[in-house]
Amino acid sequence: MRVIVAKNYEEMSRIAAMEIAKLLYVKPEAILGLATGSTPEGVYKELIELNKENRVDFSRVTTYNLDEYKGLTGDHAQSYRYFMNTRLFNHVNIDKNRSHVPNGVADDFEKECDEYDAAIENAGGIDLQLLGIGRNGHIGFNEPSDFLNLNTHVTDLTEDTIKVNSRFFDNIDEVPTQAITMGLGSIMKAKKIILLASGESKAEIIAKLVEEKISTRIPASMLQVHPNVLVIVDQEAAALLKNTSNDGIEYLK
């Protein structure tokens, strides 16, 4: 796990966007795994700019998003499909038929989950997976638990996640209590993973992710065994990292 401590949110976003741009330069037909939430918004803004300047081309890219709220249609303003359309897809030259977000209103969720995993597999697997992290250590909606799921599945959201995500809804009762999410196996199969974290509220979980033992109570800690993970954090999220003997940490001055 390589850790880069960026000066601020903008620099974190720029570094991540450049990593994606570099991949698309050498592999224009790359398969991207994408995340929603506040953290990657800056990356998407950077990518839109790079696309406008013809420095990154999405015309052959395929994308798979990590998750979607169960019960929300793609045109709901808080659905992750709507988020992706408005924050990235509507503004770049991507073929939206090749952009995939799990269907939150599927008739048969078991089938939807199986088909989502099969589609990723058939596409050749994810080349680069972008991740945020919940302050409870979740990635996608793989919440802390005694057991973790390998494959795409429907999951209950924890009270903490519902509370944290209620900031996007008019009131907490409107937050869906379940979501469909890629499992740990689907995420870990990605060839490269970039995890982003910004702000003070992520400092504790970033220290645990980088410095503590692997535990299903911190789902993101599984990333420690992945061979190609880049963690990019800003200085606030890095505040509790012990910058002593950990030579994998690179501080950008």
List of residues contacting ligand F6R (CB under 6 A): 35-39, 66-67, 132-134, 138-140
100 belongs to the catalytic site: no
Give the other-Cβ count within 10 Å of 252's Cβ.
12
Looking at the Cβ atoms of 201 and 246, the one nearer to ligand F6R is 201
Q: Are 51 and 81 in contact (CB under 8 A)?
A: no
Dihedral pair phi/psi, residue 136, rounded to 5°: -95, 5
Token pair in block for residue 240: 């509790």
Beta pairing, strands 67-69 & 99-100? unpaired
Comparison of 24 and 205: residue with beta carbon closer to ligand F6R = 205
Minimum CB distance to ligand F6R smaller for 26 or for 210: 210
As a whole number of angstroms, the distance between CA 34 and CA 38 comes to 13
Among the listed residues 19, 46, 117, 138, the single catalytic one is 138
CB of 38 to ligand F6R, least distance (A): 4
Give 206's Cβ-side CA count (13 Å radius): 30
Strands (E), the chain: 2-6, 31-34, 62-65, 67-69, 99-100, 128-131, 153-156, 178-181, 192-197, 229-234, 249-251
Q: Is 67 known to be catalytic? A: yes
Pick the catalytic residue from 19, 143, 149, 234.
Answer: 143
Which lies closer to ligand F6R via its Cβ, residue 50 or residue 179? Answer: 179
Q: Which of 10, 136, 226, 236 is catalytic?
A: 136
Taking the complex as a whole, the smallest distance from the CB of residue 132 to ligand F6R amounts, in Å, to 2
Establish whether 29 is a catalytic residue.
Answer: no
C-beta nearest to ligand F6R: residue: 132
68 flagged as catalytic = no
What's the min distance (Å) between Cβ of 20 and ligand F6R?
A: 16
CB of 244 to ligand F6R, least distance (A): 27
Place of tokens 């390589």: 2
Through-space distance between the first and last CA atoms of the chain, rounded to whole angstroms: 20
Based on CB atoms, which residue is closest to ligand F6R, 157 or 249? Answer: 157
CA 143/CA 216 separation, integer angstroms: 9
The distance of closest approach from Cβ of residue 253 to ligand F6R in the complex, given in angstroms and rounded to an integer, is: 26
| Active site residue ranges | 67, 136, 138, 143
